[in-house]
């Protein structure tokens, strides 16, 4: 009895740390990520030129979105999964807080260095080392966790292998980040990574970490949430392997080979996950808006759009417009929309068995995000590349940015209110003692 009370208290403490990761991720998404992205886009649109914008500011935005927002959420979910893997080790809660502190300090320092450039020769590599240290604390805790010895041993399923591969992809991205930060600090005249190197390496966090993580968790959750048939495991693993191969091509400067390989890997993942095949069971819509299955499937349409645009960019980009459109079809249309859809389903449950505050707000956030992303992707190419009606499309771009900002604000507000309200078990306890 005493033991189960202790482990329940430990689970509650771990749940507090998971909430800290979720809230930190949301704050990164709102201010350093999206607000700065909107600011950048409005400035670029006013001057009608991408080159007019400080590359350090653009990179600060990209880093805050990839690592500060989605990376922080994924580490939080990783710590949550510990509580579902059998006996929770005593040190797990302490480690979760240490990882949170190192990671948040590193990601904040990286953002501030890009914006203010103060003491950047020290702050840039230091921020990368702090992020790596925070991740290693997480990595050691999760990889060293021994499952309950009394539980039956099962072979690792393909979704787990995809998630494990993405965990190594995350580690690889952070190691490269340290090396690049040191290189910039020792050889450059500003905290910005040189453009050609930055473009080659951006594929690492996106295709070796974020996208395989989504595929792995989709393979686990979509059959449950959307009632889809079990995924084709072998095909899923081949899709992840192809994504890693594409990252290799990109790092080697083979942009077209990388783009084609990314498209092949995305097609394999769609087939493996059976995204567009009829569902076997009705979707589980408790706590979410009924449009949830539609928006999840729509993200994969965006992934294909991103793939097609990446091939086009490798062949014909002149002013960064096709690259920008392809990047945001992947990061906003696929990744952010996936986090909006799946996140509003699972995060309330992971943070103390809560229920999402408003399903209508969930719908509004997804609708606005997809609308803003569509306007952005459609307008960025003719505006940046100077095609016909470029003047008109330059005027649409800031509108797209404000719509995306509204989407992000509604999403964050919905989750923050959900987390602010007392968890159901706390309410039940209050009733017992009333």
Residues near ligand HEM (CB under 6 A) are 34, 37-38, 40-41, 44, 50, 58-59, 61-62, 65-66, 70, 198, 202, 324, 327-328, 331-332, 335-336, 401, 404, 408
In the bound state with ligand HEM, the residue whose beta carbon lies nearer, of 214 and 359, is 214
**Smallest separation, CB 263 to ligand HEM (Å):** 19
**Smallest separation, CB 414 to ligand HEM (Å):** 16
**Smallest separation, CB 318 to ligand HEM (Å):** 14
Give the integer Cα–Cα distance in Å for 239 and 263. Answer: 10
In the bound state with ligand HEM, the residue whose beta carbon lies nearer, of 361 and 401, is 401
Q: What is the dihedral of CA 344, 346, 348, 350, to 10 degrees?
A: -150
Place of tokens 């995060």: 347
Place of tokens 């294909």: 304
Give the integer Cα–Cα distance in Å for 90 and 100. Answer: 17
Instruction: State the chain's maximal CA–CA distance in angstroms.
Output: 73
**Smallest separation, CB 210 to ligand HEM (Å):** 7
**Smallest separation, CB 115 to ligand HEM (Å):** 14
Report yes or no: 107 and 28 within 8 Å, Cβ to Cβ: yes
**Smallest separation, CB 179 to ligand HEM (Å):** 16
Helix, strand, coil percentages in the chain from 3-state DSSP, rounded to 5: 80, 0, 20
In the bound state with ligand HEM, the residue whose beta carbon lies nearer, of 271 and 378, is 378
Which of 79, 78, 123, 86 is CA-nearest to residue 105?
A: 123
In the bound state with ligand HEM, the residue whose beta carbon lies nearer, of 223 and 324, is 324
Which of 305, 316, 232 is CA-nearest to residue 270?
A: 232
Give the integer Cα–Cα distance in Å for 392 and 94. Answer: 54
Residue 286: CB atoms within 10 A of its CB come to: 9
In the bound state with ligand HEM, the residue whose beta carbon lies nearer, of 59 and 261, is 59
Report yes or no: 197 and 144 within 8 Å, Cβ to Cβ: no
Terminal CA-to-CA distance of the chain, rounded, Å? 24
**Smallest separation, CB 89 to ligand HEM (Å):** 32
**Smallest separation, CB 14 to ligand HEM (Å):** 26
Give the integer Cα–Cα distance in Å for 85 and 209. Answer: 22
**Smallest separation, CB 282 to ligand HEM (Å):** 31
| Token pair of 180 as six digits | 């690049």
**Smallest separation, CB 249 to ligand HEM (Å):** 18
In the bound state with ligand HEM, the residue whose beta carbon lies nearer, of 137 and 201, is 201
Report yes or no: 267 and 259 within 8 Å, Cβ to Cβ: no
In the bound state with ligand HEM, the residue whose beta carbon lies nearer, of 198 and 385, is 198
In the bound state with ligand HEM, the residue whose beta carbon lies nearer, of 65 and 83, is 65
**Smallest separation, CB 5 to ligand HEM (Å):** 41
Which residue, judged by CB position, is nearest to ligand HEM in the bound state? 324
In the bound state with ligand HEM, the residue whose beta carbon lies nearer, of 97 and 183, is 183
In the bound state with ligand HEM, the residue whose beta carbon lies nearer, of 92 and 336, is 336
Give the integer Cα–Cα distance in Å for 287 and 94. Answer: 32
Residue 360: CB atoms within 10 A of its CB come to: 11
Give the integer Cα–Cα distance in Å for 197 and 265. Answer: 23
Place of tokens 């998630």: 163
What is the DSSP code string of 105-158?
A: HHHHHHHHHHHH-TTHHHHHHHHHHHHHHHHHHHHHHHHTPPPPTTSPP-PPPH
C-alpha distances (whole Å) from 331 to each of 54, 63, 301, 303, 338 are 21, 12, 13, 9, 10
In the bound state with ligand HEM, the residue whose beta carbon lies nearer, of 59 and 365, is 59
């Amino acid at each position: 009895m005493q033991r189960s009370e202790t482990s329940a208290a430990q689970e509650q403490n771990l749940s507090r740390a998971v909430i800290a990761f979720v809230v930190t991720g949301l704050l990164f998404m709102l201010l350093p990520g999206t607000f700065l992205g909107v600011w950048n886009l409005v400035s670029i649109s006013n001057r009608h030129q991408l080159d007019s914008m400080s590359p350090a500011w653009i990179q600060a935005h990209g880093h805050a979105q990839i690592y500060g927002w989605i990376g922080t959420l994924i580490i939080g979910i990783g710590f949550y999964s510990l509580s579902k893997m059998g006996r929770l080790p005593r040190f797990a809660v302490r480690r979760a807080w240490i990882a949170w502190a190192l990671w948040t300090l590193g990601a904040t320092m990286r953002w501030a260095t890009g914006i203010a450039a103060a003491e950047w020769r020290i702050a840039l590599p230091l921020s990368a080392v702090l992020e790596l240290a925070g991740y290693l604390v997480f990595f050691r805790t999760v990889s060293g966790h021994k499952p309950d010895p009394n539980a039956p041993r099962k072979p690792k399923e393909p979704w787990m292998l995809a998630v494990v591969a993405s965990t190594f992809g995350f580690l690889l991205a952070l190691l490269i980040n340290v090396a690049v930060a040191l290189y910039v600090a020792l050889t450059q005249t500003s905290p910005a990574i040189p453009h050609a190197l930055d473009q080659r390496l951006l594929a690492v966090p996106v295709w070796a970490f974020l996208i395989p993580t989504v595929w792995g968790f989709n393979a686990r959750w979509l059959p449950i949430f959307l009632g889809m048939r079990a995924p084709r495991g072998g095909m899923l693993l081949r899709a992840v392997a192809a994504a890693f191969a594409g990252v290799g091509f990109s790092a080697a400067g083979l942009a077209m080979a990388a783009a084609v390989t990314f498209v092949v890997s995305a097609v394999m993942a769609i087939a493996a996950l059976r995204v567009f095949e009829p569902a076997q069971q009705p979707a589980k819509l408790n706590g979410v808006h009924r449009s949830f299955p539609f928006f999840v499937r729509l993200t994969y349409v965006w992934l294909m759009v991103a793939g097609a645009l990446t091939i086009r960019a490798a062949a014909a980009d002149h002013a960064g417009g096709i690259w920008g459109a392809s990047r945001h079809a992947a990061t906003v249309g696929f990744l952010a929309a996936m986090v909006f859809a799946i996140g509003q389903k699972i995060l309330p449950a992971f943070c103390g068995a809560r229920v999402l505050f408003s399903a209508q707000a969930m719908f509004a956030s997804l609708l606005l995000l997809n609308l803003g992303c569509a306007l952005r992707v459609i307008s960025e190419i003719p505006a940046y590349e100077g095609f016909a009606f470029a003047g008109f499309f330059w005027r649409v771009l800031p509108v797209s940015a404000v719509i995306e900002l509204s989407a992000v604000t509604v999403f964050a507000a919905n989750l923050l209110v959900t987390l602010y309200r007392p968890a159901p078990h706390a309410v039940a306890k209050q009733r017992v003692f009333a």
